[in-house]
């Protein structure tokens, strides 16, 4: 099959004046012959206009053909990018090359063209610009182009190196900060461990001092020696030490959980004091004589300084009732548990002892340590 086409163009000079008498031709590129073939010559008129006709012998490819407009002889290419349209009611094509500026020979300059495989390297001019028949750049232009490319590549490489160096520096700074934070945390943990060790040493000293200063029992005939200490004093001392350790831990991002202390000795008087025995005396006692005192502590931050309050009397109340009463006046409950013998006239689950004592001034948010009755099997 074949398709006919009309082509149009207009030639003007650098001053936009019509150029007459220039013979040009439209050319088609055929893939089968791998060559440009003339398809309709024409000569520009007085107004510079060009009109011609041609035929596409083989239009089996459903795309617009490669078309160009050249001066006679095929050396100067005036245009290679026309507008192609098709009439709605016919197969005729309209090829419009538009208005073209034709430069004089003296104003033309050499421009390279990338080699196309299979297309002869014939000399041509695009828009009135002549291409050298040898192909490629002149030596000076090629050297300049190479220098510019090398400069651009070197600049890009230097910029990437700079970005990489900056990223490495930033990462080193971040790692140094992380190492510093880790060292500070380890130092804080070591400080907390030291404070805990001091607290344990203080507890040992407390037992030693109590053993040195406490009176002997009157039952000397049993050959048993012991020291006496108040259960409330023991709980208060332990609570104070644990609160100090908790404060140090929380400043480093750690926290103590609940702590349980078991003490075994002989109860004295109304059960408010405990006689602590040495190891030798403990071995000589008959079974069932010793009493167990269990103190559960849950340390937290020390109370904040605030408005002075008065500790209410929560003795003989249950844990729930005591907590509610203390909360109503702005205080918190620190619950501990001991054998019912520590208090008088109390039932299982009722408060036996409290510290500070009822009526003691306290800051809002302060904690009241209360020992509730609990049998050893509970």
Task: List the CATH number of the domain containing 74.
Answer: 2.60.40
In a domain, 377, yes or no: yes
Domain boundary residue, one of 86, 111, 139: 139
Q: Which residues of 188-217 are buried (b: 16+ CB within 10 A; e: fewer)?
A: beeebeebbeebeeeeeebbeebbeebeeb
In a domain, 13, yes or no: yes
In a domain, 259, yes or no: no
The helix (H) or strand (E) run that includes residue 360 is: none
CA–CA dist 66, 298 (Å, integer): 90
In a domain, 171, yes or no: no
CA–CA dist 295, 236 (Å, integer): 10
In a domain, 62, yes or no: yes
* Residue range 107-137, pLDDT digits in tens: 555 444 444 444 444 444 444 444 444 444 4
In a domain, 86, yes or no: yes
Strands, E, within the chain: which ranges? Answer: 3-12, 23-30, 35-43, 49-56, 67-71, 77-79, 83-86, 93-101, 125-126, 129-130, 226-230, 259-268, 273-277, 291-297, 308-310, 332-338, 351-355, 361-363, 367-373
CA–CA dist 299, 192 (Å, integer): 15
Give the domain CATH number at 325: 3.30.10.20
Domain boundary residue, one of 87, 110, 139: 139
Kindly report whether the global pTM for this prediction surpasses the value 0.85.
no
In a domain, 229, yes or no: no
Domain boundary residue, one of 104, 139, 174: 139
Domain range for 325: 303-378
In a domain, 177, yes or no: no
Looking at the 3D structure of the chain, how many domains does it have? 2
Give pLDDT tens digits along the chain (378 positions): 778 889 999 999 988 899 999 899 988 888 777 888 888 889 999 999 999 998 887 766 566 678 888 986 666 888 888 998 887 677 788 899 999 988 776 555 544 444 444 444 444 444 444 444 444 446 777 788 888 888 888 888 889 889 989 999 999 999 999 999 999 989 988 888 888 888 778 777 776 765 555 444 333 334 444 477 776 677 777 777 777 777 777 766 677 777 777 777 776 655 567 777 777 777 777 776 677 777 776 766 444 434 468 899 999 999 999 999 999 888 999 999 988 877 778 889 999 999 999 999 888 889 999 999 987 655
């Amino acid at each position: 099959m074949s398709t006919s086409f009309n082509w149009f163009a207009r030639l003007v000079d650098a001053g936009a004046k019509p150029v007459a008498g220039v013979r040009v031709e439209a050319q088609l590129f055929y893939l089968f012959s791998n060559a440009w073939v003339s398809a309709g010559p024409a000569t520009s008129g007085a107004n510079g206009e060009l009109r011609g006709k041609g035929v596409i012998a083989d239009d089996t490819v459903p795309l617009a053909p490669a078309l160009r407009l050249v001066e006679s002889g095929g050396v100067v290419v005036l245009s290679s990018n026309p507008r192609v349209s098709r009439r709605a009611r016919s197969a005729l094509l309209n090829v419009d090359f538009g208005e073209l500026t034709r430069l004089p020979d003296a104003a033309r300059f050499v421009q390279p063209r990338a080699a196309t495989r299979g297309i002869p390297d014939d000399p041509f001019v695009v828009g009135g610009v002549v291409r050298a028949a040898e192909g490629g750049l002149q030596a000076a232009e090629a050297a300049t182009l190479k220098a510019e490319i090398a400069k651009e590549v070197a600049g890009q490489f230097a910029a990437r190196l700079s970005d990489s160096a900056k990223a490495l520096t930033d990462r080193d700074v971040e790692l140094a900060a992380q190492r510093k934070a880790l060292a500070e945390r380890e130092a804080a943990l070591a400080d907390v461990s030291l404070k805990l060790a001091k607290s344990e040493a203080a507890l040992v000293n407390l037992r030693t001092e109590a053993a040195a200063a406490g009176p002997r029992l009157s039952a000397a005939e049993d050959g048993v020696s012991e020291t006496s200490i108040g259960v409330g004093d023991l709980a208060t001392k332990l609570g104070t030490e644990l609160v100090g350790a908790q404060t140090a831990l929380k400043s480093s991002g750690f926290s103590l959980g609940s702590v349980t202390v078991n003490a075994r000795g002989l109860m004295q008087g109304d059960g408010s004091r405990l006689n602590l025995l040495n190891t030798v005396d403990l071995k000589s006692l008959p079974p069932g004589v010793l009493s167990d005192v269990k103190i559960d502590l849950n340390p937290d931050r020390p109370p904040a300084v605030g408005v002075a309050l008065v500790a209410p009397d929560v003795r003989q109340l249950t844990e729930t009732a005591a907590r509610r009463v203390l909360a109503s006046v702005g205080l918190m409950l620190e619950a501990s548990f001991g054998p019912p013998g520590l208090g008088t006239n109390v039932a299982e689950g009722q408060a036996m002892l409290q510290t500070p004592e009822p009526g003691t001034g306290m800051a809002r948010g302060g904690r009241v340590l209360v020992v509730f009755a609990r049998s050893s099997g509970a």
